C-alpha cells in the first residue's frame, strides 16, 4: 500500500467506538499543558493522531516498548491483535501514572506490529478504541507505525513505546 493510499485509509476510517465513545478530541490550548497537539494547515488531518506535538515541559519520560503482558508477565490476547494493543495502552497508562503523568503528556508513540499488512489496521484501531474507553482517554499524539518481522516473544504481535513530557 502506498503512503498516499494509507493516508486516505486513515483519514476515512471511522473508529468503532459505539456508545462508549469518548468526546471528540480537542486541540490543547497553548500554555495549558506541557504538550500541545496540532494538525497544521497544509498537512493531512488524520483522526487517529495529530501530526505535530509541541513540548514545553521540562521532565522527559521515555517508556520502554510495552507488550501484551499483564502485571504477572503473562501474555494477554494470544493471537488477538486488538486485545494485545489494548493491553499495551493499559501498560503505558500504568507507566505514565507512575511517572506522575497521563496520556495528555505523551509527545510521541511508536507502534511495532509483527508482519504488518493493511488489513491489520482495523484490529489495531479497535484495540486503541477499547483502551481509550477503558482508560477514559483519547490518545492522539503523533505516532509512527512500523512493520517488523518479529518481537522478543513469539506470542507478541505488537509493541508500543511512548515519549512523554511533563511540565
Confidence at residue 73, expressed as pLDDT on a 0 to 100 scale: 93
Q: Please give the average per-residue pLDDT across 25-44, as a whole number.
A: 67
146: which residues sit within 8 A by CB, 6+ positions away?
Answer: 110, 111, 112, 113, 116
CA distance 15 to 9: 12
Identify the CA nearest to 132 among candidates 47, 75, 28.
47
pLDDT top residue among 22 and 114: 114
Which residue stretches of 55-113 are H helix?
A: 81-98
pLDDT for the residue 115:
98
On whether the CB atoms of residues 70 and 140 are closer than 8 A, the answer is: no
pLDDT for the residue numbered 154: 96
List, for residues 38-81, the tens digit of each pLDDT value.
888 888 887 788 888 888 878 999 999 999 999 999 999 999 99
* Residue linked to cell 507505525: 145
What is the average pLDDT across 141-164? 96
The pLDDT tens digits for 75-90 are 999 999 999 999 999 9
Reported as a pLDDT band with limits 50, 70 and 90, residue 22 is very low
Instruction: Answer yes or no: pTM beyond 0.85.
Output: no
Amino acid at each position: 500500500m502506498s503512503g498516499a493510499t494509507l493516508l486516505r485509509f486513515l483519514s476515512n476510517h471511522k473508529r468503532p467506538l459505539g456508545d462508549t465513545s469518548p468526546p471528540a478530541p480537542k486541540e490543547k490550548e497553548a500554555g495549558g499543558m506541557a504538550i500541545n497537539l496540532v494538525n497544521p494547515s497544509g498537512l493531512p488531518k488524520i483522526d487517529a493522531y495529530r501530526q505535530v506535538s509541541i513540548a514545553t515541559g521540562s521532565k522527559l519520560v521515555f517508556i520502554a516498548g510495552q507488550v501484551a503482558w499483564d502485571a504477572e508477565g503473562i501474555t494477554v490476547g494470544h493471537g488477538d491483535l486488538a486485545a494485545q494493543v489494548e493491553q499495551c495502552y493499559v501498560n503505558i497508562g500504568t507507566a505514565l501514572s507512575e511517572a506522575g503523568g497521563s496520556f495528555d503528556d505523551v509527545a510521541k508513540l511508536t507502534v511495532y506490529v509483527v508482519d504488518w499488512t493493511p488489513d491489520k489496521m482495523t484490529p489495531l484501531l479497535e484495540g486503541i478504541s477499547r483502551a481509550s474507553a477503558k482508560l477514559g482517554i483519547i490518545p492522539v499524539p503523533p505516532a509512527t507505525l512500523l512493520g517488523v518481522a518479529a518481537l522478543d516473544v513469539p506470542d507478541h504481535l505488537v509493541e508500543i513505546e511512548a515519549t512523554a513530557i511533563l511540565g
